[in-house]
A and B are shown apart, each in its own frame.
Chain A
């Protein structure tokens, strides 16, 4: 069974304090790893797709990386508007998307 574990469950940072969010996974035949951001009361918003180990993607203060067992979402010099829940999902060969429980990030000004 495909599994996704995200850690920590919650993270509180001071504005400008860089950190990383972890997503560990086991999946039969990885076809893609996806990162999403979810604000309260809204649907998840797509951030990145990673397809193979060693791949990296960047967008503003966010950088996603992928190994054969885990992915990291690095946040550089975060701002309060980066506060949200960050979700990681893996796609197996059968096209099912399995999500982790998410990491709630809070950035204090």
Chain B
């Protein structure tokens, strides 16, 4: 596709349920990032994938959060046993190379009730 695609655009889930958020990066982009943006806050780094290297997971807030990137393309962010504080917009970005600009998707708005 022409841009980074995220799905679903909105997700409402009950506390304690697991959720999966999907990101389709721009074709040919080797790097992929996940960020979380809470209301009125900046972007909080979660995880970074670069090619076939081991991902940088240093931003994942707890072991309930995990992410994978299959075939160097599509990525899935999984949140297990969701809590109300997980409510936020989850943004995915991809970039062609290490020092190039990153392009963002429209985000997935997650609401935990």
Contact = CB atoms under 8 A, between A and B. Distances in A.
Given A87-B42, A101-B42, A102-B42, A96 B48 contact: yes
Contacts of B101: 34, 46, 49
B18 to A, nearest CB: 24
A89 B99 CA distance: 12
Nearest to B53: A95
Contact of B42 (A34, A49, A100): A100
Q: How large is the interface on A (under 10, 10 to 19, 20 to 34, 35 or more residues)?
A: 20 to 34
A28 to B, nearest CB: 14
Contact of B45 (A49, A87, A98, A101): A98
A105 B80 CA distance: 37
Given A94-B56, A96-B56, A43 B91 contact: yes
B48 A44 contact: no
B31 interface: yes
Contacts, number: 55
A101 B103 CA distance: 18
Interface in A63-109: 87, 89, 91, 94-102
Query: Most A CB atoms within 10 A — which of B33, B58, B101?
Result: B101
B98 A97 contact: no
26 contacts: A32-B99, A42-B107, A43-B91, A43-B104, A44-B104, A45-B104, A46-B102, A46-B104, A51-B99, A87-B42, A89-B43, A94-B56, A95-B98, A96-B48, A96-B56, A96-B58, A97-B33, A97-B45, A97-B48, A97-B93, A97-B102, A98-B45, A99-B35, A99-B42, A99-B45, A100-B42
Given A42-B107, A95-B56, 15 more contacts: A32-B99, A36-B104, A43-B106, A43-B107, A44-B91, A44-B93, A89-B43, A94-B56, A95-B50, A97-B33, A97-B102, A99-B35, A99-B42, A99-B45, A101-B42
